[in-house]
Structures are given as structure tokens and as C-alpha cells.
Amino acid sequence: MAYDGKDKVLEEVTGKSYEFGFTTDIESDKAPPGLNEGIIRLISSKKEEPQWMLDWRLEAFAVWQKMEEPDWPHLQYKKPDYQAICYYAAPKQKKQLGSMDDVDPEMRKTMEKLGISLEEQKRLSGVAVDFVMDSVSVATSFKKKLGELGIIFCSMSEAVKEHPKLIRKYLGSVVPTKDNFFSALNAAVFTDGSFCYIPKGVRCPMELSTYFRINESGTGQFERTLVVADESSYVSYLEGCTAPQRDENQLHAAVVELVALDEAEIKYSTVQNWYPGDAEGKGGVFNFVTKRGICHRRSKISWTQVETGSAVTWKYPSCILKGDHSVGEFYSVAVTNNAQQADTGTKMIHLGKNTHSTIISKGISAGKSHNSYRGLVQIMPSADNARNFSQCDSLLMTDTSGAHTFPYIEVKNPTAKVEHEATTSKIGEDQIFYCLQRGIDEEQAISLIVNGYAKEVLNQLPMEFAVEAQKLLSISLEGSVG
Amino acid sequence: MTGMAKPIVMDLERKPNIHLATQAKGEALRAALVALRSGTGLAAEYLDALPVPHRRVERWKHTPVAGFWSTYEAPQVQTVLAAGCEACPVPGLHAYRMVFVNGTFDPAASDLPVHNGVQCAPISMSDSPPREAGDLEATEWFAALNQAFAIEGMRLHIKKGVVLDRPLLVHHHTHGPNSANFLRHEITVEANAQVQLIHWSTADSQASGMVNIMTHIEAATGSHVALDKVQDEAGKLHHLAFEQINQAQSTQVRVHTGTIQGQWVRNDLNFRLDGEGCDSVLNGFFLPSGNEFVDNHTTVDHCAANCTSSEQYQGILYGSSSGVFNGKVFVRPNAQQTNAYQQNGNILVTDKSKINAKPELEIYADDVKCSHGCTIGQFDEEALFYARSRGISEAEAKAMLVNAFIGDVLDGFAVPEVRMELEHRLATKHGWDTWNDTLEAG
């Protein structure tokens, strides 16, 4: 190869250890490992849930027991032992918090290390953070301000108690419990998550944000997020993840449901940086997430994701375009390094007339990782004049990594216009040569090219998040890229 | 978690998904065939191990197989005149011919090449044993079925440096109801030899049952092979065509598939590029109408460096027809400098027509250029309006657009007479009186 320097640089990349690998020492209240009806009853009673919620969980559990773990993704991993996982762990501290000062100083330190100090967030960025640590919501800020507008933004357990009507109407309406293996598991054992409701005609004045963090060793994280945007409302929702270093694999099986009623708009952005495992692929998080939104008439759902972490990712944020003139968007950057594996993409299901969808997916594979795009564009007979544009590009950084594309296109309406393009290539040596000629060193040159390559997606992120996303992109490929 | 890269496996090599009802039907069909062929097909190891295809098997997700499970009658040897195969199906073509009627070789209608450097004979008259099963037979139930029951087919061997002076046309004709025809063609092209092949499939309007054709092509260093496939079958046949093409260093293989007519057609075209500097071209068009179903599955497996592959499939779907396109480009770890291109264009003409497309890339080498594109749309309203405003009828304007849409593929057919005949047959099927005028004008 013409650039020996690059190999060296790539070695540095693989040598880079996980920066956020620290553990918070907080006593936690933990259920014994294993999964049975008893555990589900325990979770439900710990959370002081009403009977209907328990029934719903038990039904999901019954369905899950009959299901098989899918093996169609282009992934290779040792299937987790679901009986060895602890399904409930909550920080013991239980008293109500009046102000930030009441928060456990250990936990606050953790947040500061993550760069999401609540005070700072409050003052500078105007972001309301619903901070989830090991499944229980500890601090919810800006709640009052949102309350004035009628916006509900709270933890799922609180919502179950205080807004049962909304929860019973929408929970499981987009991702039914029997949708897939992981969604059924999640429905049975989810411990917390976020709920957000934007009333009619309200434009949420700030970006809503949730941080997830797997903390307790050997625990799984099963969040449930539900965002309902009532008619003509708007919300931008951010989700970010970092996890501390652990040797055994940790399971993350979340479900996210979005409901955009007539003329509403939801923008959902994710930066995912769970612990990816070490250079040999030991440890790391299994990220098996079901994300789906339903669009009613003239509404819009936009998914943006920057995926840099997790040992194994299985994730397809999707849109069901049910209403006429609804719009679905999916923007994704997925970076895999070392032994990471990602099988990610989207589904756009067109049911309504004049529905539009756009898919932009950028994959970057380094080390000996494998990065797959798997997508479905389905135009049903009722979807007259549906339109889809898909673009999937892959960038290969090493000759040991892989990039794969599995797009499914199913069209049952003759008025549909569907376009799909995909390319796979490596960074052009002529591009690097051009930069070198102009005094830009190789490391910067690669960084420049990768940033330009991912720009289309990064531009979709809200300002506050774009900075963090770029930071994560750099960490993931540091030494050579970013 | 091992963290190892996934070994290179095709979809079906994973743990097969068994569907019991389908499995039982498949076994019943197999038993019926064993009874018919008095004992052949008993020693088919792969048949026992493979799942009978159904929609949960990835490669058959959109391909309905329910039509296969009817009873089959013993094939009868047809007289040539009854079948109407006595003449070359392509007017004006001066070619060698090998004719199979209902899976049986018809010597009277055939015209085999007589040349020192060429061995060409039906398998039933050849001394050497049939080829051993390859990857396809090991992974596809229907291909394994062919391996078990095909006792006839063509064996062609072109010696080193020989260029066959005329194209060789292999005519498959199916006649009458409920037949099960299995053919396997074994083609070996030695170094620097060249050959043009034509596969021509026809059937009469009473024909029903299954046609299952397996073609193996071994292209040795520096050889050139062109295969033009034409499928124009009336009746209610299920047509399965498997091709496995293995290319050695610096070979050029071009396969063009034109599906004009066929109740149910599945083409399973597989290329394996084993030597450096190979060039593969695989193009096709399909214009199903009525209740027809056409499925094109292709795999290009780049195993060696510095190869190029180019693929273009164009479909226009009329009536309540449905189509499937699945193109897979596979680049193995050491296949650097690969240049792979794939394009699939589809036009849905009516409300009831549908298409399922899946262009796939699986890439394990970094210094490659791979791209694929897939479009689904309609006739361009503006282009139609442009033509209409200049006094061209709607039908004529659409014929012009069809011509433009599949023109690139048509032009790629190796034998000019085949190309002409394809255009003629398309015009007859779709009632485009003006087709030929358009062609001349264009």
C-alpha cells in the first residue's frame, strides 16, 4: 500500500481504549438473575404499577416464551443467556429530589465526566434532561416550564401512574408486544423509560433529551420510550448513550414508539456510544433495539442516528406512513471499528397517498468490523404517488473490514417512484494525495474526508448534539480519523 | 462472543428453516418422480438435507412455489412434427442445433457440430459419467432435484483455442400437460476457445408441469463464452433455470436473458470469478403480463482480484403480473481492485402489477468500486405527452419508451438474429404494430 503511515495510524486506532469506561459506585437494589413470572410481578410491584400494566407484561412474557431469537441478521455473536440476566436494578436512593443539590454526588460526578452536567445543560443549552441511570429516572429538569405548555415529559413509571389513559391508548400501538423477540422481552420486563406528550398545536420550545447508561454489572437495560405528538405539534427529541467498561456482554433491548398525529412533526435524534468491547471483541454491549413511528395525515417523522458504539447492533428505526401526505426520513452514520458488528437500517412502509420517504445511510468500517445496511421500502396498493429515495454509501478503512447492503424494495402500486443507490469504496488515494500536497497531514486528511462523507447526516442533528456526535465520531476512529 | 469476522456463507448454508407442510409436499413430489423414473433420484444426498423452499427461506421469500405440487405424468417421447421443432426457431439463423422435446433428445431435429476440436453430444449417448454436484446442488432444493432426476442434457467440450464457427442453439420444447422435464447441460470451454450459445425455451399452449434446467459452464483461461437465453413459453409451465458459471483467469462470459412469456419463471444465475482479470456481463429483461411471474436471482462471487462485473436487469410489468429481482454481488477478502456494477430498473404499468427488488452488496475487500442502483417508476408522462403532441399514438409512444428502456439490454445479445427475433416476438405479444417501424426509425 502506498501509505505505510496509514497502517500505523490504524494500529493506534485499535489501541485506543474506551474513554468513558468508569464505574459509578452507588449501592443498588437488585433482583436475582433469571426471568419468570415472579420476576415480572416483582418488577411490577417495585414500580407500584396498576393491575392492567402487570397483565400486559405477563401477556408479553407468554408470547416471548414461544418466540425464537432471530438469526437472520448478518451478525455473529454468542446468544445471551436470558436466565443469567438480572432484570431489575435500581439505585437505592428513593427520596424525592427538590433540587440538583439533592442528587447523589457520585452520580453527579458521573454526569460531569460524560459532559452532561445538569446545571450546565440547564444554563447554556436549554436542554431538559431526563437522566436515566440503571432504569430509574433520577432527575428530571425543566419539568415545570414544560408543564406550563401542557407538555408531559416524565419517566415511564410515573406516566403509568399519572397518565394511564394516554399510556393505555398508545403503549404498544406502534410496536406490538408480539412484533419480535426483543420487543416482547422488553414489554415483559421494561423497568423504565421516558414518556413525552405534546398537546395540540404546541411547538416544544426546547430539545427534549434522555441519557441512558448501563451501570450495574450483569444487568440488562430495557427502556421503553413513547413520544406522542398531538395534532399540529412539534417536538425534537434527543437520545444519547454511553456505558462504562465491562468484560461480560451486556444486553440492551429497548423499544421506542413515536406517534405523530395529523400534521405533527417528530424529530428523533440518537447518538449511540455504548461500550464496543476491546480490540479483540471481548465484552461490549448488545444493542437490540426496536424503534418505530407511525405518521398520520400530513405528519412527519425524522430519525437521525449516529452509531459509534456497541459490540453488536441490531436496529431498524422505521416509519409507518399511514396518513396521506405524510413524510418519513432516516439519516444514519454507523461507524464500526475493531470487532464491532452492526446490522442497521430502516423500514419505510407506505400506506397513505402521496407519502414521501428519504433514506440516507453512511457506513464506515474499520479494523476487522462488519457494517451492514438492511432496509425495506414497501409501497402498498393504497399508497398512490408514493415516493422514496434511498442512498446507502459505505466506506472501507481496512482490507479486513466488511461493508454489506441488503435493501428490500417491494412495490405494489404502479404510481410509485422508488430509487435506490448504493456505493462501496475506500478513501481515494488521490484525495489523500491532494491534501498532502497542500500541507495537510494524512491524519487530518482522512478526518477531513470522513467528515465530509458524513456531513449530510451530521447536518440533520440539532446543534447541541452535532458537537457531541462529532466528538464521538473522533473517539471511534481516533488516530486516523476525525 | 468470539469477535471473529463472520465466515463467508450464502444464505442457505445457515440452519435451514423447515416448513413442515411444504416439506411434506416436496417429499411427495419427489416420491412421485422416483416412481415415474423407476429408481433414479434415490441416491440424492443433498435432497435429504435441504429444506423444500418456502417463503421463510430467504432466497424464496417472494417466489411462490405452491404451483409445483401437482401430479406429474411420465414424459413421453414426442415426434418432432407434433412438437413443431423441426425448424430453427430463429429465422435466418445459421446455427448448430440441439433439440430436446419434453426432456428427451430429438436427433432428427438436431444438427450437431462436427469438428475435431469440439465434442458435442447428449448425455445419454456420452460415455463419461455426469458431473459431480456443485455448490448449487448443495444449497438449493430444486437444483438438487435436478441433480437427482436429470438423465439427459447436452455435454459440450470445446478444445483449446477452438473458435466454434457458428452459434449453438439448444432448443427446449415442452408439449402437453403435467410433464416434469429435467435437463442438465455441462459445458467445458478450454483455454482461449470461444463459443456462442443460445438457450431457446418454448412450449405449446397445452403445456403444464415443470421444466428444470441446470447449466454448468467451466470457462478456462482466456476463453470467451456468450450465452443468449430466450424464454417464450405458452401454457402453464413452471420454469426453473439454474446456471453456474465458473470463470478462470482472463475469461469473458456474457449472459443475456430475455423473458418474453412464461407463466412462472425463475432464473438463478450464478457467476464465480476464480481467476484474475475476468470480465462478466449479465443482462436481462422481463416483460410479464396477465398473471405471469418472473423471478431473476443473480449472484456474482468475486473470488479473485482485478475482475469486473456488470449487471443490468430491466423489467416492465403489465396486467397482474409480478416480478422479483435479487442481485447479489459478493467480494471476497482478497478480491482487491474489483469493479462491480449493478443496475435494476422497473416500470409498473398497471395497478395490479408488483415488483420485489433486492440488490445486495456483500463486500470484504477495501480497494473496490462497487455500486448498485435500483429504480421503480412509470412511463414518463412528459415523454408521452411530447410524443402525443407530435401526433404519435399513445400505444406507439409507449412502444418507443419500452424500446428505449430495454434497448441497452437487447443490444447486448450476442447473436444479431436472436435480437431481431426477440423484438419481433415482443411486438407480437404486446400488439405493438409499430414496434418494428419504431426500431427502424430509431
Q: Which of A400, A415, A422 sits opposite B361 (nearest CB)?
A: A422
What H or E segment, with its residue span, contains residue A421?
strand A417-426
Amino acid letter, residue A15: G
Q: Which of A314, A410, A419, A430 should be substituted to probe chain B, the one whose Cβ sees the most B Cβ atoms within 10 Å?
A: A410
pLDDT above 70 coverage of chain A, percent: 75
A56-60, A406-410, B428-432: least confidently modelled range: B428-432
Q: What is the per-residue pLDDT for B218? A: 95
Q: Average pLDDT in the A259-277 region?
A: 89
What does the alpha-carbon distance between residue A64 and residue B134 come to, in Å, rounded to a whole number? 40
Q: Average pLDDT in the A137-164 region?
A: 78
Q: What is the per-residue pLDDT for B262? A: 94
- Rounded to two decimals, the ipTM of the complex is 0.73
Counting every residue, how long is chain A? Answer: 482
Half-sphere exposure of A387 (CA within 13 A, CB side): 10
Helix (H, G, I), strand (E, B) or coil at A60: helix
Q: What is the per-residue pLDDT for B88? A: 85
Q: What value, to the nearest 5°, has the Cα angle with vertex A481 and ends A478 and B3?
A: 60
Closest CA to B359 of B406, B318, B405, B312: B312
Q: What is the per-residue pLDDT for B196? A: 97
Helix (H, G, I), strand (E, B) or coil at B312: strand
Q: Between chains, do B366 and A418 touch, taking CB under 8 Å as contact?
A: no
pLDDT bucket at A100, cuts 50 / 70 / 90: low
Buried-exposed string A30-67: b where 16+ CB fall within 10 A, e elsewhere: bbebebeeebbeebbeebebeeebbebbebbbebbeee
Query: Which tops the pLDDT comparison, B359 or B18?
Result: B359
Q: What is the per-residue pLDDT for B192? A: 96
| CB B151 within 8 Å of CB B183 | no
Chain B closest-CA separation from residue A186 CA (Å): 22
What does the alpha-carbon distance between residue A211 and residue A255 come to, in Å, rounded to a whole number? 15
- Chain B CB contacts of A280 under 8 Å are 3
For residue A139, how many other CB atoms are within 10 A of its CB? 20
Closest CA to B235 of B182, B296, B172: B172
Q: What is the per-residue pLDDT for B264? A: 96
Counting every residue, how long is chain B? Answer: 442
| CB B121 within 8 Å of CB B155 | yes
φ, ψ of residue A411 in degrees (nearest 5):
-120, 125
Q: How far is CA B411 from CA A257, B86, B146, B286, B312, in A?
A: 51, 28, 32, 15, 12
Half-sphere exposure of A86 (CA within 13 A, CB side): 16
Q: What is the pLDDT of residues A323-374, one digit of tens each?
A: 999 999 999 999 888 888 999 999 999 999 999 999 999 999 888 889 999 9
Q: Which of B361, B368, B379 should be substituted to probe chain A, the one whose Cβ sees the most A Cβ atoms within 10 Å?
A: B361
Half-sphere exposure of A297 (CA within 13 A, CB side): 2
Q: Which of B15, B354, B360 sits opposite A411 (nearest CB)?
A: B354
A106-110, A171-175, A422-426, B211-215: least confidently modelled range: A106-110
Question: pTM here?
Answer: 0.80
Q: Nine-digit cell at A248?
A: 461480560
Query: Which tops the pLDDT comparison, B116 or B129?
Result: B116
pLDDT bucket at B76, cuts 50 / 70 / 90: low
Q: Could you tell me which residues are beta bridge partners of residue B372?
A: A422, B342
| CB B125 within 8 Å of CB B155 | no
What H or E segment, with its residue span, contains residue B217?
strand B208-219
pLDDT bucket at A120, cuts 50 / 70 / 90: very low
Q: What is the pLDDT of residues B159-183, one digit of tens each?
A: 999 999 999 999 999 888 888 889 9
- Chain B CB contacts of A310 under 8 Å are none
What does the alpha-carbon distance between residue A432 and residue B62 come to, in Å, rounded to a whole number? 44
pLDDT at A464 over 70: no
pLDDT bucket at B102, cuts 50 / 70 / 90: confident
Closest CA to B163 of B191, B138, B122: B191
pLDDT bucket at A463, cuts 50 / 70 / 90: confident
Q: Between chains, do A404 and B363 touch, taking CB under 8 Å as contact?
A: yes
Q: Scanning the structure block, which residue is given the C-alpha cell 413524510?
A: A327
What does the alpha-carbon distance between residue B404 and residue A232 come to, in Å, rounded to a whole number? 46
Query: Which tops the pLDDT comparison, B203 or A399?
Result: B203
Question: Chain A: residue nearest B375 by CA?
Answer: A419
| CB A417 within 8 Å of CB B376 | yes
Interface of B with A (CB under 8 A): 1-6, 14-15, 58, 62, 333, 336, 346, 348-351, 353-378
